[in-house]
Structure 1
Amino acid sequence: MSTFAIGDLQGCLAPFEALLDTIGFNPDRDRLLLAGDLVNRGPDSLGALRRVHSLRDNVQVVLGNHDLHLLAVAHGHARPKSKDTLQPILDAPDRDTLLAWLQSQPLLVDAPEFGAVMTHAGLPPLWTLDQARRRAAEIAQVLADPERADIFFGQMYGNEPAGWRDQLTGATRWRVITNYFTRMRFVDRQGDLDLTTKGEADQPPAGFVPWFEHPDRLDPGRRVLFGHWAALEGRSGVDGVEALDTGCVWGGCLTALRLDDNVRFRCDC
């Protein structure tokens, strides 16, 4: 049995199938951890979502910002953007099954046998792992409640507040938690987010650093698996911080990390 962590699919079904062949994936024995953003921008979002759903007994998924955008559109709280490739999912006869399954996925997955944790964008540097687990579980409970989920998607978008404060409540609190788990790249000394800069790690905005380089990380020894940041090209430069988004949808490659021995496999896109 092997466990593979795979970066953002973003609707790239053919490279995903090719990568599964490359790693010799066997659903009778192997397990996949997917770093979120299963859909959007790529050529076959419906096919990618269906394929992952078909492997659901062998797959653990964390939600990414594009997955949540799909759900917000489906709930009527957002309009598709010009570059979205989500309409085939919204028109599919099995849309309700697929969307219900997607909405039931968490923001954080533990892989304790490997001393690892996976989220879409990383582990907020000024949260302990226990705090991160509790806040991810809080959003999972919100998404499982139809009334609160509707409020969540209606107020999910936005860059403010920029950072965590213990006194946050309601939809504002949910938005900040979600931004950390699904949109985080650069943070300042007090842990606040810059959500407008998307470039390389060595070009941060003034006063900010990549989240994994924060000098006061509360859990620096934790092995963190994450996607989201294609500009890193799979390299964080920090031991144990495993960047998995290698820009498949932008013509890069799709990456799988075998956690058993830390070997990486790639399939050109």
Structure 2
Amino acid sequence: MIQRHDANHQGRDFFVGDVHGQLALLQTELEAVGFDRKRDRLFSVGDLIDRGSESLACLSLALEPWCHAVCGNHEMLAFDALLGENRGSPQAHDAWMINGGTWAMTAAHGEVRAMLQRALPHLPYAREVMVEGRRVGIVHAEPPADWRDVMPPSQALLWGRTRIMKGDETPVKGIDAVVVGHTIVQRPMRLGNVHYIDTGAFNTGKLTLIEARDLLREDA
């Protein structure tokens, strides 16, 4: 449900916004910062898949030892359609397709299901990472008012937009900072100690990749 990561004393940590099947764009951003897969770590706010044609390859990133993603609402839509209690139902299938799952129509159905099954154990609802002595939480959409309430998971973790719609700057208690995606913003922004980094890569061509230390400097 939640995975915790100690500080990275060998390299750097980066946060990346919703990738949505834009593997080439992600690779370009990683190359631009000289990302070292043996020392650096990439933390994703989820939604690796959908809307982009390279979604299957992006989903496989969850299996890489240097990539640490949380579950997004799009991974959950795929789960509901392919593996959940309502798998095979027209409602679950249509909900996924309407929200960008049409890429799966051009891939082998069994291959998509198998990759999703392998990836999901590596996609917890939340992560927590130590960065320069500070605790940074990661969820896809919206954290609870108190980080201690992040488990058991709620729908808000995957779908919530209440905080950003209200412009709520109340800091999340019990954590130094939280990084989220889900809601597209023109540029990375912060409300209280919550950082929004989804810049709509699938239609803007802008994928936000930010080093963890730089993100925390914004809070200083």
| TM-score normalised according to structure 1 size | 0.65
Structure 1 position 253, deviation (Å): 0.6
Which of these residues, 225, 231, 256, is aligned with residue 179 of structure 2? 225
Q: Please state if 1:124 is matched with 2:100.
A: no
The equivalent of 1:101 in structure 2 is 118
The runs of 5 or more residues in structure 1 that have no matched partner are: 137-176, 188-200, 265-269
Q: Please state if 1:38 is matched with 2:48.
A: yes
Q: Could you tell me which amino acid in structure 1 is paired with residue 140 of structure 2?
A: H
| 1:49-198 alignment, distance < 5 Å | 49-50=59-60, 52-53=61-62, 56-75=64-83, 76=87, 77=89, 78-79=92-93, 80-82=96-98, 83-87=100-104, 91=108, 94-104=111-121, 105-113=123-131, 114-125=134-145, 128-132=146-150, 134-136=151-153, 177=154, 179-186=155-162
The equivalent of 1:246 in structure 2 is 199
Q: Could you tell me which amino acid in structure 2 is paired with residue 27 of structure 1?
A: R
In structure 1, what is the Cα distance between the partners aligned to 2:129 and 2:24? 27
Structure 2 CA distance for partners of 1:218 and 1:249, relative to 1, 3 Å: closer
Paired residues, what number? 195
Deviations 1:213-269 (A, max 9, x none): 35xx55186301011110353213x353211101111224101111133389xxxxx
The equivalent of 2:169 in structure 1 is 213
Q: Could you tell me which amino acid in structure 2 is paired with residue 81 of structure 1?
A: M
Find the residue that maps to 1:60 and give its secondary structure: strand
In structure 1, what is the Cα distance between the partners aligned to 2:181 and 2:42? 14
The equivalent of 1:154 in structure 2 is none
Find the residue that maps to 1:85 and give its secondary structure: helix
Q: Could you tell me which amino acid in structure 2 is paired with residue 246 of structure 1?
A: T
In structure 2, what is the Cα distance between the partners aligned to 1:103 and 1:89? 21
In structure 1, what is the Cα distance between the partners aligned to 2:74 and 2:66? 22
Identity %: 24
Structure 2 CA distance for partners of 1:246 and 1:228, relative to 1, 3 Å: same
| Higher-Rg member (1/2) | 1
The equivalent of 1:235 in structure 2 is 189
In structure 1, what is the Cα distance between the partners aligned to 2:193 and 2:204? 26
In structure 2, what is the Cα distance between the partners aligned to 1:250 and 1:18? 16
Structure 1 position 92, deviation (Å): 5.6
Structure 1 position 98, deviation (Å): 1.7
In structure 2, what is the Cα distance between the partners aligned to 1:240 and 1:258? 16
| TM-score normalised according to structure 2 size | 0.78
Counterpart contact for 1:224–1:242, Cα < 8 Å: yes
Structure 2 CA distance for partners of 1:257 and 1:89, relative to 1, 3 Å: farther
In structure 2, what is the Cα distance between the partners aligned to 1:213 and 1:99? 36
In structure 1, what is the Cα distance between the partners aligned to 2:193 and 2:20? 24
